[in-house]
Amino acid sequence: MKVEQIYTGCLAEAAYYIESKGEAVIIDPLRETQPYLEKLEKEGAKLKYIFETHFHADFVSGHLDLAKKTGATIVYGPNAHTDYEVHQANDGEEIALGDVSFKVLHTPGHTLESTTYLLRDEAGEDYAIFTGDTLFLGDVGRPDLAIKQGEITKEDLAGFLYESLRTKIMPLADTVIVYPAHGAGSSCGKNLSSETWGYLGDQKKTNYALREDMTKGEFIREVTAGLTPPPQYFAKNARMNKSGYESFDRVLKKGVVPLTPDQLVELVDQEGALLLDTRKPQEFATEHIPNSIFIGIDGSFAPWVGALITDINQPIVIVTDQDRAQEVVTRLARVGYDNTLGYLEGGLEAWKNAGKDTDSITSIDAKELADKLNNGLDPHLVLDVRKPTEFLSQHIVDATSFPLDYINNNMDRLDRNETYYLHCLGGYRSMITASILRSRGFQNLVDIKKGWREIEKSDIPKTEHHCPTTLSQDLIDEAVAAVV
């Protein structure tokens, strides 16, 4: 028996490869199929099943393309109604794979169809559970993604999750390995560990949601408290996973197309394409194409694209390092943005060689910001674009909380005649914010290089530091409500 976790850090997502006697299962695959096909060929194995733990909201699964290319059967648990052919397994059903087997455990709560797959080894002993978004290390899946207005609430789903955990998962042995679908950085939970696998016994001791003395009412209150609105693309990705999508190969062929500067301009002007710059933050600050939006490929690229580009069918053209065009198109497709129309061949140098104008963002360091504050700069003009909980943890005295997550809610609060100073933790989110504001007509923007990491070391007056885990729920809810 082979069990391999295939972890993708930029999405904080884990897929799994399990093999026994030349037969394989892949659980929760990403959109692109080639890595899995290469793995199967290398191992000399045949893919028998593709297990889906639920309708993923934070990425588009590769189950459909993978099934078409291998002939494998797609398996969902109960309540998973799709627009394509699947094997809908029953609760408790046993599925054989070589000398091992999986037991299907229906574990509704994160979503109604959420299912955990219990792997039993050659001796028939419980070995591991693949929990999807039902159970993470340190947390459980948020219960507000599959609510139906007038039919089911997040409290209802949280109640289902309480029962699922206590009747299906907690009775298993402490030695069972927990393989979740996500680690820290995912928006599918609130308190995910940076570890990507662990033992169930450890979770019973340390995971707040698995406390033995926890009542159902306490569980519902704690699991539903402090939930911020999910990114807008979540519902769209879930629909794609349920109903189907365009072949990834076609998306790649359409998107990895070299464009001249004039062709790029034509697509922006005639097709309404969004110009997306995926280079490094300070490269963008130094020089970029006017009205382009920065979301760097070396950060949490796909989640920020999904959070900020509200039209999932938006035509997109990209500026990137030429050898990374395919990577950019792939990562866009992972979250359902399939309408990339090409990339600027030769990058920004080709743009400048064509005699076209560029723009820039002023960027200063923390020491320069300290000097300006000492010389009378109103600290309210410092926009802290981190998350509300990061702001509450510690911030510049009298700075303004202006989280990137909710920029469209708060842009009308700003004055285009003022000069604003933007910072995040390290400089990535603040440059995204600056690019969006600049494209909307805000000309007087100053980015703080390296963000809070440098501000924290400076003599700029700061509030008292609070560990995020000690913040009261009322305080968090109030801060979120102020910016949502």
Range 62-71 average pLDDT: 98
Q: What is the pLDDT of residue 193?
A: 77
Q: What is the topology classification, in CATH, of domain 362-483?
A: Oxidized Rhodanese; domain 1 (3.40.250)
Range 426-436 average pLDDT: 98
Max CA separation in the chain (angstroms): 73
* Coil, strand or helix at 155: helix
d(CA 338, CA 252) in angstroms, rounded, equals 8
β-bridge mates for residue 14, sequence order? 7
Letter for the amino acid at 3? Answer: V
Per-residue pLDDT at 458 exceeds 70 = yes
Per-residue pLDDT at 240 exceeds 70 = yes
C-alpha distances (whole Å) from 214 to each of 107, 118, 170, 226 are 18, 25, 13, 19
Q: Determine contact, residues 400/382, Cβ cutoff 8 Å.
A: yes
Q: What is the pLDDT of residue 480?
A: 76
Per-residue pLDDT at 149 exceeds 60 = no
d(CA 443, CA 364) in angstroms, rounded, equals 16
Q: Determine contact, residues 318/267, Cβ cutoff 8 Å.
A: no
Question: Nearest CA to 54 among 94, 11, 111?
Answer: 111
d(CA 215, CA 213) in angstroms, rounded, equals 6
C-alpha distances (whole Å) from 271 to each of 260, 288, 440 are 16, 21, 19
- With a CB cutoff of 8 Å and minimum separation 6, the contacts of 436 are 293, 308, 407
Q: What is the CA radius of gyration of the chain?
A: 24
Residue 193 structure tokens: 């560990």
The number of helices, as runs of H, and strands, as runs of E, in the chain is 18, 22
Per-residue pLDDT at 386 exceeds 80 = yes
Q: Determine contact, residues 75/92, Cβ cutoff 8 Å.
A: no
Mean pLDDT check: name the lowest of 30-39, 125-134, 405-414. Answer: 405-414
Per-residue pLDDT at 147 exceeds 90 = no
| Sign of the CA dihedral running 20, 43, 132, 146 | negative
d(CA 257, CA 401) in angstroms, rounded, equals 40
Q: What is the pLDDT of residue 186?
A: 73
* Coil, strand or helix at 44: coil
Per-residue pLDDT at 63 exceeds 90 = yes
β-bridge mates for residue 50, sequence order? 26, 74
β-bridge mates for residue 178, sequence order? 129, 198
Residue 278 structure tokens: 């995926």
The CATH superfamily assigned to 246-353 is: Rhodanese-like domain (3.40.250.10)
- With a CB cutoff of 8 Å and minimum separation 6, the contacts of 171 are none
Per-residue pLDDT at 32 exceeds 80 = yes
Q: What is the pLDDT of residue 441?
A: 94
Q: Determine contact, residues 138/58, Cβ cutoff 8 Å.
A: no
* Coil, strand or helix at 131: strand
d(CA 210, CA 137) in angstroms, rounded, equals 11
Q: What is the pLDDT of residue 288?
A: 98
Confidence of residue 184 (pLDDT cuts 50, 70, 90): confident
Per-residue pLDDT at 373 exceeds 90 = yes
Q: Determine contact, residues 136/184, Cβ cutoff 8 Å.
A: no
Per-residue pLDDT at 472 exceeds 90 = no
Per-residue pLDDT at 332 exceeds 70 = yes
State pLDDT tens for residues 281-298. 999 999 999 999 999 999
Confidence of residue 150 (pLDDT cuts 50, 70, 90): low
* Same fold? 2-236, 246-353: no
d(CA 286, CA 213) in angstroms, rounded, equals 56
Burial degree of 146 (CB within 10 A; 0-12, 13-18, 19+): buried
Domain definitions of the chain by residue range = 2-236, 246-353, 362-483
C-alpha distance across the termini of the chain, in Å? 48
For residues 12 and 172, the model is more confident at 172
**From edge to edge, which strands make up the β-sheet containing 382-384?**
362-364, 445-448, 420-423, 382-384, 400-401
Backbone angles phi, psi at 136, to 5 degrees: -105, 175
Q: What is the pLDDT of residue 151?
A: 83
Q: What is the pLDDT of residue 279?
A: 97
Range 341-368 average pLDDT: 97
Q: What is the pLDDT of residue 413?
A: 93
Q: What is the pLDDT of residue 185?
A: 73
Give the whole-number percent of the chain exceeding pLDDT 90.
87
β-bridge mates for residue 129, sequence order? 118, 178
CATH entry, 2-236, from 3.30.9.10, 3.40.50.1820, 3.60.15.10, 3.40.120.10? 3.60.15.10
Backbone angles phi, psi at 54, to 5 degrees: 180, 180
Q: What is the pLDDT of residue 397?
A: 97
Per-residue pLDDT at 280 exceeds 60 = yes
Question: Nearest CA to 200 among 263, 277, 135?
Answer: 135
∠291-292-297 over CA atoms, to 5°? 160
**From edge to edge, which strands make up the β-sheet containing 73-76?**
2-8, 13-20, 23-27, 46-51, 73-76, 87-88
Q: What is the pLDDT of residue 125?
A: 98
Q: What is the pLDDT of residue 478?
A: 81
The answer to pTM > 0.85 is yes
d(CA 165, CA 131) in angstroms, rounded, equals 10
Looking at every residue in the chain, the average pLDDT score rounds to: 94
C-alpha distances (whole Å) from 166 to each of 130, 172, 199, 210, 311 are 16, 10, 16, 8, 40
